[in-house]
A and B are shown apart, each in its own frame.
Chain A
Amino acid sequence: MAFISARARFKSPDARRSWLPGVKPLVFAILLAGLCYQVLLPFAMIVWTSLKAVRPGDPGFLTLEFTFANYSRALASQSFWQSAWNTLEFAGAATSIAFVIGATTAWVVERTDMPLRRFVGLMMVARIIIPGILITASWILLASPNIGFFNQLARDVAGLRNPFNIYSFGGMVWVQSIEMAPLAFLLLSASFKSMDPRLEEAAAMAGANTTRALWRIALPLSMPAIAAAFLLIFVTTVETFEAPLLIGTRAKISVFTTEIYQATTQTPVNWGRSAAYSVTLLILSIVLLLAYSTLVRNSRRYQTISGKDFRPRRIELGRWRYAACALSLAVVATTTGAPLAVMIYASLLRTIQGNGVPFLARVSLTNYQQLIESGRVWTSLLNSTLLGVGTATFVVLLVALIAYFIHRTRLPGRKWLEFLAFAPIAIPGVVLGATFVWLYLLIPAPILGTLFIIGLAFVTKYMPFALRFVSNSLLQINPELEEAAEVAGVPFLWTFFRLILPLMKPGLVAAWFWVLVHAYRELTVALLLSRGGNRTAAVVILDLWQEGSFLKLSAFGVILFAILLTIVLLSNALQKRYGLREQY
């Protein structure tokens, strides 16, 4: 065992023990202080700014004079209530559609004998790596009035004029549904997979048919998990930015995230308005996440997984299996195939103007060539890689320590640690980005405009998610090993780095890749914190869009997809090696 050799190294355990008790509390105190800085300070900053009449940095910003003027102005304006309603309406509609698509696909993949179910599952998961900004851009190219591929097809084939209009509430909802459907699939497939089939078998023996068993057994059993997943997707949609920015602006539909972004970036900058909207969005997120936590807690009462080994029974669909397969393939084509296909297609065009020239005559690799020659594309890819790898590594080590203190110690205040590590899940990206700008204008650390400030914000943003992976992994390790090491006089830090971390490897690897991929995709935080040299790949995609370089953007999207796909394949290979089966 590792700690036996360690004991040989630490010859005088008694002497070591004399200072050992100090190490854990010290590390714990540093962690707590670090989390307060990373989490509480941004929270406080949002609220503080919303209560000030002047902006961060102005004389008077740090005085103890507060005002509710920002709130009273916001609450008195019709646009606030309109944005609030739009946000809820948009999130409700997009979540419902994403949910229907994701749940249906998850059910047929996990619980039926549908052909090609593994392929469908794989494609749904693979879609998650495509950045939201690319999904939105590709759907604009697909369903834009007059120039969208689908509208051109409808005109050429059926003589219809613009049956699709992406620049509408429906279009915005559709794109967001497509963006969220894979997440719904992931959340629900886990629930469907872990359902004990004996209850359904009992129902079948009692004479219930498949549909009745589904409605009376499977659905009620999954209800808390379904409701929790619904809420999580709803919260994510409330915080979303890409579709509201690129589609909602033209559809004249404003939601909270775009209002905050515009108040922060348009001249004259309206900090008070931005902060008031931010706090409102924050409160909304907190309320929804509290409801989510309650549902997740309650869902444990409905757990059907026991120590007994079981494999969920697959429902035989009979002749409907082919219809289900066709429907699932249509879902895959819509969520993954169509956006990717239009990206590849557009990336090969010389110009976006058709002018009746056949496709083959318009094909070229010019966009790729220009991108390869462009310094900023490589810089942004390098930035994203550095950020992704740096953030992922730091977050994983940080949450491993946090998880250890939460689950393996009885130090007072560990619940605070858990709360602080989970709380950032409630901070929307646009709010987090704006807050970090304000914060580091006040804190005299020279990190504005560097990758470091984006990295710090990413640490706050991704900590709650990584903690989930790592905590699960830690809980599977018997504490006897650490106890034995402690008895043997092995110092805490040695035990942690040489014994616990290696045993947590599956969870750490999963968390590392999860953070890496999401850091690559992330737009909102990076956009608000970007300056010159610290622009990330997602930000450059938005730049290319705003410059009207749609074809280069498509080429960049294809390159980015290839990179992210390589990362995911590598992740899968590593996770297989370590026997990890977590998907999300």
Chain B
Amino acid sequence: MIAEMADPRTRPHSLWLRGILGLLIAAFQGPVYAQALSSSVEAIYRELDALPAAERAARVESGARKEARITILQTLHGELGDGQIDLFRKRYPFIAVDSSSQLSSPEAAERVYAEEVSDRHLTDAINVAIIDMPELLAHDFLARYRSPAIANVLPAFRKYADPEGRWTLSFWSDRGISYNTELVPAELAPHVWQDLCRPFFKGNVSFESMQIRFLAGLYSAFGDKIYDYFRCLGDNDPIIQGSPSERVALMLAGDHMVVGDSYLYAGIAEKRRNPSAPDGFALPGPLLASFGGVGINRNAPHPFAAALFADWMLTEEAQSYLARRLRGPVTLKHPYLPDDAQLVVTPLSLPDGVSARLIEAWKRDVEKKR
């Protein structure tokens, strides 16, 4: 830079370039710096908190009616997510819902993060796994909204809702082990996570490519012994392939024996459709559980509609829909898991450096890309 400034021939050019870049920076980045420190969305919610319950509900609905629109990003996939949004549309026909039901939870959170950091306030609410929210929380992108509907949540689960109200609970997912009963004799069926290291399953256990949510859940269950577990899984030549649903379908067709990070509902749902489907599942002590929640964008363009959606997700209507579709409701009994199922809940965040270490170890010892 010093050499450049010293050369008079380059100076005007450099200044010109800097001028153009400066203008570009001011044009694009100005709004980011100018972002208001306080959120008008939160101010609205604070006002709502002060109202009596009935008046508050009426105010939320009338506000949503005026807004007449909501944009939701959610991780409930395909027909499940579409069906749920259809229910919401039917309940509130005056709201036009723009919903994405195909993003994974990290993708949805990342999308909102990217929009907000670029000062593009496109999304009102997200319905994703809580473990995917840390960046949104760190940047204070989620509004504090104390939904009265949180009272509907089962007492055992209530502690997983944010005390500050930055997310309300909406569903929970289990991760266990699914296996093909035609390929795995009952006496050799896996019961605990460590069983997946048995030579019988060599080359026949599948996992998704690195998913921090799953790894964090395992870390909560195993602690530092997780790294030994990764090594023994890796020695058993696991299959690394697409989503759990994709692999459950392949597993049931006889492609391989075991889905090692299965959402158990996939196989159970298939068995209900086709009773001869060879689905078996284990509840390895402990089963990994991760909670999903609705977070409202601190700069939501439609704050009332967003609040209405967060509240509605905890209604009997929304929760029983989830239960009918074999997902974990937070206000009702689980559709297929016993009440005493041993759970370990994926933490919101991991100790410093653990996340990176987990990812590195998983890639090195389990995925072993060539």
CA distance A549 to B111 in the complex (A): 26
Q: Which of B228-253 contact A (CB under 8 A)?
A: 239-243, 245-250, 252-253
B370 pairs with A252, CB closer than 8 A: yes
- Residues from chain B with a CB closer than 8 A to the CB of A24 are none
B212 at the interface (CB under 8 A from A): yes
A375 at the interface (CB under 8 A from B): yes
A262 at the interface (CB under 8 A from B): yes
CA distance A206 to B81 in the complex (A): 74
What is the 8 Å Cβ interface bit string for chain B, positions 246-286, against chain A (1 contact, 0 not)?
11111011111000000000100000011011100000000
Total residue contacts A-B, CB cutoff 8 A = 152
Q: Which of B63-98 contact A (CB under 8 A)?
A: 73, 77-79, 82, 98
Q: Which of A262-297 contact B (CB under 8 A)?
A: 262, 265-269
When C-beta atoms are compared, the residue in chain A nearest to B32 turns out to be: A59
CA distance A374 to B101 in the complex (A): 14
B82 pairs with A353, CB closer than 8 A: no
A390 at the interface (CB under 8 A from B): no
Least CB distance from A270 to B in Å reads 10
CA distance A531 to B73 in the complex (A): 9
Q: Which of B22-30, B190-198, B314-322, B330-338 lies at the interface with chain A?
A: B22-30
6 nearest A-B residue pairs (beta carbon): A548-B249, A532-B100, A267-B106, A57-B118, A57-B117, A441-B118
Q: Which of A98-106, A139-147, A230-238 lies at the interface with chain B?
A: A139-147
CA distance A449 to B368 in the complex (A): 35
Q: Which of B26-83 contact A (CB under 8 A)?
A: 28-29, 31-33, 73, 77-79, 82
What is the 8 Å Cβ interface bit string for chain A, positions 424-461, against chain B (1 contact, 0 not)?
00000000000001000111101011000000000000
CA distance A546 to B241 in the complex (A): 10
Contact of A57 among B114, B252, B266 (CB under 8 A): B114
B102 at the interface (CB under 8 A from A): yes
Would you list 21 pairs from A and B whose C-beta atoms are within 8 A, ordered by A residue?
Answer: A57-B119, A59-B32, A147-B250, A249-B241, A250-B240, A252-B240, A262-B209, A265-B107, A266-B210, A266-B211, A267-B109, A267-B110, A267-B213, A350-B274, A355-B278, A532-B101, A533-B100, A543-B102, A546-B243, A547-B246, A548-B246
Chain A: number of interface residues, binned into ranges: 35 or more
A82 at the interface (CB under 8 A from B): yes
What is the 8 Å Cβ interface bit string for chain A, positions 514-555, against chain B (1 contact, 0 not)?
000000000000000011110100010001011111100000
9 more A-B residue pairs beyond the given contacts A62-B29, A531-B111, with a C-beta to C-beta distance below 8 A: A55-B117, A61-B29, A147-B255, A246-B242, A265-B104, A267-B110, A441-B118, A448-B122, A533-B98
CA distance A109 to B106 in the complex (A): 51
The dominant DSSP class at the A interface is loop
A267 pairs with B212, CB closer than 8 A: yes
CA distance A375 to B254 in the complex (A): 31
A253 at the interface (CB under 8 A from B): yes
B255 pairs with A249, CB closer than 8 A: no
B225 at the interface (CB under 8 A from A): no
Least CB distance from B22 to A in Å reads 9
The answer to whether A535 and B102 touch (CB under 8 A), given A59-B32, A147-B250, is yes
A82 pairs with B122, CB closer than 8 A: no
B32 pairs with A249, CB closer than 8 A: no
When C-beta atoms are compared, the residue in chain A nearest to B139 turns out to be: A58
B120 at the interface (CB under 8 A from A): yes
A352 at the interface (CB under 8 A from B): yes
Least CB distance from A500 to B in Å reads 37
A63 at the interface (CB under 8 A from B): yes
Size of the chain B interface, CB-CB below 8 angstroms: 66
B220 at the interface (CB under 8 A from A): no
Least CB distance from A58 to B in Å reads 6
- A interface residue numbers (CB < 8 A to B): 55-59, 61-64, 79, 82, 86, 144-147, 246, 249-250, 252-254, 262, 265-269, 350-355, 374-376, 437, 441-444, 446, 448-449, 530-533, 535, 539, 543, 545-550
CA distance A535 to B81 in the complex (A): 15
B21 at the interface (CB under 8 A from A): yes
B367 at the interface (CB under 8 A from A): yes
A250 pairs with B241, CB closer than 8 A: yes
B369 at the interface (CB under 8 A from A): yes
B132 pairs with A58, CB closer than 8 A: no
The answer to whether A532 and B110 touch (CB under 8 A), given A82-B369, A146-B256, A547-B246, is no
Contact of A444 among B111, B120, B243, B256 (CB under 8 A): B120
A449 pairs with B122, CB closer than 8 A: yes
CA distance A290 to B98 in the complex (A): 44
- Residues from chain A with a CB closer than 8 A to the CB of B132 are 267
CA distance A442 to B119 in the complex (A): 8
- Residues from chain B with a CB closer than 8 A to the CB of A531 are 73, 100, 103, 111
Least CB distance from A62 to B in Å reads 4
CA distance A250 to B21 in the complex (A): 45
- Residues from chain A with a CB closer than 8 A to the CB of B78 are 376, 543, 547, 549
B115 at the interface (CB under 8 A from A): yes
When C-beta atoms are compared, the residue in chain A nearest to B104 turns out to be: A265
CA distance A351 to B101 in the complex (A): 24
- Residues from chain B with a CB closer than 8 A to the CB of A79 are 369
B249 pairs with A549, CB closer than 8 A: yes
B99 at the interface (CB under 8 A from A): yes
CA distance A352 to B267 in the complex (A): 13
When C-beta atoms are compared, the residue in chain B nearest to A144 turns out to be: B255
**A267, A444, A539: which has the most chain B beta carbons within 10 Å?**
A267
B243 pairs with A547, CB closer than 8 A: yes
- Residues from chain B with a CB closer than 8 A to the CB of A61 are 29
CA distance A545 to B119 in the complex (A): 34
- Residues from chain A with a CB closer than 8 A to the CB of B18 are 64
When C-beta atoms are compared, the residue in chain A nearest to B363 turns out to be: A79
Contact of A351 among B99, B103, B274 (CB under 8 A): B274
CA distance A79 to B369 in the complex (A): 8
Contact of A441 among B25, B77, B115, B243 (CB under 8 A): B115
B246 pairs with A545, CB closer than 8 A: yes
CA distance A514 to B292 in the complex (A): 44
Contact of A375 among B82, B114, B274 (CB under 8 A): B82
- Residues from chain B with a CB closer than 8 A to the CB of A352 are 249, 252-253
**B33, B100, B115: which has the most chain A beta carbons within 10 Å?**
B100
B255 pairs with A146, CB closer than 8 A: yes
A253 pairs with B239, CB closer than 8 A: no
CA distance A446 to B246 in the complex (A): 34
B120 pairs with A448, CB closer than 8 A: yes
B33 pairs with A249, CB closer than 8 A: no
- Residues from chain B with a CB closer than 8 A to the CB of A59 are 29, 32-33
CA distance A266 to B132 in the complex (A): 11
When C-beta atoms are compared, the residue in chain A nearest to B203 turns out to be: A145
Contact of B274 among A253, A353, A376 (CB under 8 A): A353
- Residues from chain A with a CB closer than 8 A to the CB of B82 are 375-376
